[in-house]
Structure 1
Amino acid sequence: MTKVNKSGYSSVQVLDHALFRDMPPTLQQVLLRDAAVFHVQAGEVLFREGEDAVEYLYVLDGHVEVLRHTQEGQERVFQIFCPGQLLAETAMFMTHGRYPMEARARGDAVVQCLKRSGLIELVTGWPELSLRLLTRLSDRVYRRVNEMEWFSDSTAAQRLADYLLRLPCNPAGGVRMPLTQRQLAVHLGVRPETLSRLLADWVSQGLITGARRDWTLRDLTALEALVQSARRSF
Structure 2
Amino acid sequence: MTKVNPTQDSPARVLGHPLFKDAPAEVARLLLRDAAVLHAEDGDTLFREGEDAVEYLYVLSGGVEVLRHTQDGLDRVFHIFRVGQLLAETAMFMTHGRYPMNARAHGDAIVLCLKRTGLQAACRIWPDLAMRLLARLSDRVYQRVNEVEWFSDSTAAQRLADYLLRLRPGEDSTVRLPLTQRQLAAHLGVRAETLSRLLADWVTQGRIAGARRDWILLDPAFLDDLAQPVRRRF
Is TM-score (shorter-chain normalized) higher than 0.5? yes
What is the aligned partner in structure 2 of residue 62 from structure 1? Answer: 62
Asked if structure 1 preserves the Cα contact closer than 8 Å seen for 2:6 and 2:36, the reply is no
What is the aligned partner in structure 2 of residue 32 from structure 1? Answer: 32
SS of the aligned residue for 2:96 comes to: coil
What is the aligned partner in structure 2 of residue 186 from structure 1? Answer: 186
Greater mean alpha carbon deviation, residues 165-174 or residues 89-98: 165-174
User: How far, CA to CA, are the matches of 1:45 and 1:202 in structure 2?
Assistant: 36
Identity of paired residues, percent? Answer: 69
Asked if structure 1 preserves the Cα contact closer than 8 Å seen for 2:6 and 2:37, the reply is no
For 1:147-186, what aligned pairs fall within 5 Å after superposition?
147-169=147-169, 172-186=172-186
Structure 1 position 10, deviation (Å)? 2.0
Q: Deviations over 1:92-150 (max 9, x none)?
A: 00000000000000111000000000001011110000110011011111111011101
Q: Deviations over 1:32-72 (max 9, x none)?
A: 00001111111100000000000000000000000000111
Structure 1 position 12, deviation (Å)? 3.1
User: How far, CA to CA, are the matches of 1:152 and 1:83 in structure 2?
Assistant: 32
What is the aligned partner in structure 2 of residue 87 from structure 1? Answer: 87
* Structure 1 residues 36 and 7: alpha-carbon distance in aligned structure 2, compared to 1, 3 A threshold: same
What is the aligned partner in structure 2 of residue 200 from structure 1? Answer: 200
Asked if structure 2 preserves the Cα contact closer than 8 Å seen for 1:2 and 1:38, the reply is yes
SS of the aligned residue for 1:229 comes to: helix
User: How far, CA to CA, are the matches of 2:172 and 2:84 in structure 1?
Assistant: 27
Asked if structure 2 preserves the Cα contact closer than 8 Å seen for 1:11 and 1:35, the reply is no
User: How far, CA to CA, are the matches of 1:9 and 1:37 in structure 2?
Assistant: 12
User: How far, CA to CA, are the matches of 1:193 and 1:103 in structure 2?
Assistant: 27
Q: Deviations over 1:11-33 (max 9, x none)?
A: 33200000000000111011100
User: How far, CA to CA, are the matches of 1:135 and 1:6 in structure 2?
Assistant: 30
Structure 1 position 172, deviation (Å)? 4.5
Task: Give me the CA root mean square deviation.
Answer: 1.2
Asked if structure 1 preserves the Cα contact closer than 8 Å seen for 2:208 and 2:217, the reply is yes
Are positions 1:22 and 2:22 aligned together? yes
* Structure 1 residues 8 and 170: alpha-carbon distance in aligned structure 2, compared to 1, 3 A threshold: farther
Structure 1 position 8, deviation (Å)? 6.4
What is the aligned partner in structure 1 of residue 141 from structure 2? Answer: 141
SS of the aligned residue for 1:104 comes to: strand
Asked if structure 2 preserves the Cα contact closer than 8 Å seen for 1:11 and 1:37, the reply is no
User: How far, CA to CA, are the matches of 2:188 and 2:166 in structure 1?
Assistant: 14
User: How far, CA to CA, are the matches of 2:105 and 2:168 in structure 1?
Assistant: 20
Asked if structure 2 preserves the Cα contact closer than 8 Å seen for 1:40 and 1:108, the reply is yes
**Structure 2: which amino acid aligns with 1:214?**
D
Asked if structure 1 preserves the Cα contact closer than 8 Å seen for 2:59 and 2:81, the reply is yes
Asked if structure 1 preserves the Cα contact closer than 8 Å seen for 2:43 and 2:107, the reply is yes
**Structure 1: which amino acid aligns with 2:5?**
N
User: How far, CA to CA, are the matches of 1:168 and 1:204 in structure 2?
Assistant: 21
**Structure 2: which amino acid aligns with 1:163?**
Y
TM-score (normalised: structure 2): 0.97
User: How far, CA to CA, are the matches of 2:107 and 2:9 in structure 1?
Assistant: 18
Are positions 1:233 and 2:233 aligned together? yes
Greater mean alpha carbon deviation, residues 7-16 or residues 107-116: 7-16
Are positions 1:224 and 2:224 aligned together? yes
Q: Which runs of 4+ in 1 moved over 6 A?
A: none
Which runs of 5 or more residues in structure 2 are unaligned? none
Structure 1 position 194, deviation (Å)? 0.6
SS of the aligned residue for 2:78 comes to: strand
SS of the aligned residue for 1:59 comes to: strand
